Homo-oligomer: A and B are copies of this chain.
């Protein structure tokens, strides 16, 4: 065998995973740092992926009875202070508006003036401002449930940021619901966790584990926090979405009361749930390879890119005509209930640059069309998830066109299956603490930077795990729900750390 081919991304995943991630974001032209500390610019290709995510999620929210609305960007400080745990959780990372005017200062430059009587916090999340409105809107049990979602930007002042994964400003959706009973609110919390899991599986081709967070990992002010956890290719976990049962904590702090069917005044039960542009980071780290981004077809802004190849105008005429005709034919085909999205890239830049640009951007299918392809009316389409070493026979144009929907569906399924197999390969159940520790420390011969994975272990409450977790930078990612595959049956066991008997099994790993 010849030596491994050079890759489009340097370094490779095995060489330096964090740097590989930054280089994929850059090579795929998804986003970049802005001059504003910690705030990113989401570039057109990255934003188109977010739009595709939004569109699918928005439809799923509406199908489950939710409507969209919009609440203010600013939260008066006194509102944030109403729920004690909540404000404590966010106080250290708030952007605060204190003035509303600029005027020339003593040295000529502009300085903030018009000091506000009460500072305004740029929303880090909207429980308190939305709760204040719900307190006004809800009078009787007839006004419940309220099922509202908001698409918005939020700000959390982060010191260490990474594009998409952790940024000072990010885009997200936040659902906020109010219910007459705890049962109904819990059901909503779990239902929306399920919507996130379905979206992750069906659109992102990303397998996730749905579970409950431990007390220390709860959303500030929540009674219970649930999350979906995905394994990235460096075997760390990424929390990809959360759904919170807030009990009556916020309704008591904000007086969200209703008159019940029996005429009693009751506090409402509330929930909140959200996913953010972090999902784009999750998508990158789940599927991409050493040649750049790999996009699941359902979220790809373009499904097929056609690259016309010709040396002169004489060749160019028929080639371009053929390409545009091919685009038209492909666009009559459907995938995911919509026309296949096709681009003919006619830009006047070097052939190899152009091709690699689309490879690095993760376009699912790339097809080059030159005079010889036209002559035979056959094509050599390249599917992004297939190895470039693997040579496939040419297919007739007619067959390429008629099978494009099937081909995209096959790629979508392949990406999911590959990611699931990877997670399964690096998920192990432990009953021995030494083996557990070795799992997170043993170096891997071929991939020295990547080791460990998800560990499943019985765990009981208590301080015994803390030292081990701190030593290896581990956290309990979640306690999987009892309808998660593999966790349906309660199994008696002993806590891996304290030896105490327990039925609780957790997913433990390093995490983003």
Binding site for B on A (CB under 8 A): 34-36, 39-44, 47-48, 50-51, 67-77, 79, 81, 87, 91-103, 109-112, 114, 119-122, 129, 132-133, 142, 148, 152-153, 155, 157, 169, 171, 349
Contact = CB atoms under 8 A, between A and B. Distances in A.
Nearest to A112: B96
B129 A119 contact: no
Contacts of A94: 100-102
B72 A169 contact: yes
Contacts of A35: 76, 79, 129, 132
A101 B51 contact: no
Contacts of A74: 36, 39, 95, 169
Given A51-B68, A171-B70, A77 B102 contact: yes
10 contacts: A34-B129, A34-B133, A35-B79, A41-B70, A47-B67, A92-B101, A95-B120, A98-B98, A98-B112, A102-B121
A67 B87 contact: no
A99 to B, nearest CB: 4
Contacts of A148: 44
Nearest to A136: B32
Contacts of A77: 102, 110
A60 to B, nearest CB: 16
Contacts of A109: 81
Contacts of A119: 99, 111-112
A236 B102 CA distance: 32
Given A97-B96, A103-B91, A129-B36, A153 B67 contact: no
B129 A110 contact: no
B103 A72 contact: no
Q: Which of A39, A48, A103, A142 neighbours the largest number of chain B CB atoms within 10 Å of its CB? A: A39
Given A43-B69, A96-B112, 10 more contacts: A34-B72, A36-B74, A41-B72, A73-B155, A74-B169, A93-B100, A93-B101, A97-B122, A98-B112, A153-B153
Contacts of A73: 39, 122, 153, 155, 169
A72 B110 contact: no
Nearest to A148: B44
Contact of A71 (B34, B67, B96): B34
Contact of A36 (B67, B76, B95): B76
Contacts of A171: 70
A15 to B, nearest CB: 28
B97 A110 contact: no
A95 B74 CA distance: 10
Contacts of A48: 67-68
Contacts of A93: 100-101
Q: Which of A42, A44, A77, A349 neighbours the largest number of chain B CB atoms within 10 Å of its CB? A: A44
Contacts of A95: 74, 97, 99-100, 120
Given A77-B102, A87-B102, A100-B95, A120 B44 contact: no
Contacts of A50: 70
A225 B70 CA distance: 30
Given A120-B36, A120-B95, A133-B41, A100 B70 contact: no
